[in-house]
Structure 1
């Protein structure tokens, strides 16, 4: 939290001298700092997701189980382990040893070829994307892309079924919607992160893992994150050679992950963001920011 300290000295007024105007109370300055911090947090939380106010922000409801491929075996293992540690610290459930992977980080020499091969061999990982959207992923000039495979849960936590003919979702849950809550919750079934190996040169295990965690455990985008103006690990692949890099998740990043999984996503985005912002502000206050 921004803090401003007003230092003043006692001035003795000479006889017949006009009294100086009273100083602005220190509380007013502190309140202004709080107001600015609230606005920064609001912009950060809103920038990290791309959801309409009457939409819903997705997250994992099942335990996450990261798997990393494309790097030396020991690096793959250590990155996956670090991702699990980040998840546990942020309040995200993690799978037991030997769990079936549902979070994938793929480091590749050719992002385009890898995505096209995945699309041909494992189309289920693209079931929420149109062919045009898949092509856009493959042709993206950014060093990394990420997407989530989703389904819908009822507000009671039951997986919703679709009718075979028209694909409409059938909600048999007992909880009804309201002005702030929907009758459903979007759930991440799996997350995919594909990154060019050349973009990882010079980065540590922690930096790679924390970047992947922010892209996989939440539907985030580095370009949107950069626009927020807040410090974040999400911009680590886009920094110039002479720019300082975060060595780990920033307090802003951690606060966002924690807020995402500490709040229920049956709420509409406009209402839920308010709850998420409170969690982020508390994390920043703990860190003295």
Structure 2
């Protein structure tokens, strides 16, 4: 199955939230100086199709502060290990790409205009929801998993865009767990449990702020048969 989903490039200058102070958003937006060189790094991805998560999860997290980028990538590694998902141990082509942006709509529009995101193999409804959605976190998965074995919710690869402004009031630890779940399982093919970190942005009191036991059992079941 063709695993292509996107070719990526991110502007070397990711917008910095104005009025930097102690607000959560200031930790979710990277210092523009730290983004120097990203253009060259991302342009490399345009030359090849992204790797397959079936061969080992290989994350690339960009756009937040260096500390947040590193934390999210480490948490993805930890959750993948706990779920029994394979994880790339050598140099690899990124297959789970997380991009933080203060202007996600502009990022996605520019990527579409310059043909840097390729939606080949993505269901039309999912691609449209990604392009025009307004959720704090938007994602698409590569490969038509619906043509795989029934109930197979393991993505071949994943592209996630985080609206840093809308996610500013969420703890980074909770956000990282949310990102891990949507990266490692296609919840549209196989819904997550009711008691789930997926309710993080529902705005209700008492919503989980970490992966629940049900979430962890769900991920283990998704990755059990490989």
Bucket of the pairwise TM-score, normalised by the shorter protein: 0.5 to 0.7
8 Å Cα contact 1:66/1:80 also seen in 2: yes
Q: Is 1:193 matched with 2:160?
A: yes
2:198 corresponds to 1:234: yes
Which residue, 203, 210, 214 being the options, matches 1:252?
Answer: 214
Matches within 5 A, 1:1-289: 60-96=53-89, 98-123=91-116, 125-129=118-122, 134-150=127-143, 188-220=155-187, 225=192, 230-240=194-204, 243-263=205-225
Shift of 1:253: 0.8
**Whole-Å separation in 2 of the counterparts to 1:247 and 1:188:** 24
Contact 2:111–2:117 under 8 Å retained in 1: no
TM-score by length of 1: 0.52
CA shift for structure 1 position 86: 0.3
Structure 1 runs of 4+ aligned residues shifted over 6 Å read: none
Which residue number in structure 2 is paired with residue 34 of structure 1? none
Q: In the superposition, relative to structure 1, how do residues 262 and 220 fare at CA in structure 2: closer, same or farther (>3 Å)?
A: same
1:124 to 1:60, Cα distance in 2 relative to 1, 3 A: same
Cα offsets for 1:85-115 (capped at 9, x unmatched): 0000100011126432110111212222222
Please state how far the C-alpha of 1:190 moved relative to its aligned partner: 1.7
* Separation (CA, whole Å) in 1 of partners of 2:124 and 2:66: 33
| CA distance 1:125–1:238, shift in 2 (3 Å) | farther
Work out whether residues 150 and 187 of structure 1, in 8 Å CA contact, stay in contact via their aligned partners in 2.
no
SS of 1:203 mapped into structure 2? coil
Between structure 1 and structure 2, the one with the greater Rg is 1
Distance 1:186 1:123, change over 3 A: farther
More strand by proportion, 1 or 2? Answer: 1
Q: Compute the displacement of 1:74 (Å).
A: 1.4
Give the aligned length: 171
**How far 1:123 sits from its partner (Å)?**
4.6
User: What's the C-alpha RMSD, in Å, of the aligned pairs?
Assistant: 3.0
Separation (CA, whole Å) in 2 of partners of 1:190 and 1:149: 5
User: Which has the larger share of helix?
Assistant: 1
Unaligned 5+ segments in structure 1 are 1-58, 156-180, 265-289
Query: 1:133 deviation in Å?
Result: 5.4
Normalized against structure 2, the TM-score is what? 0.64
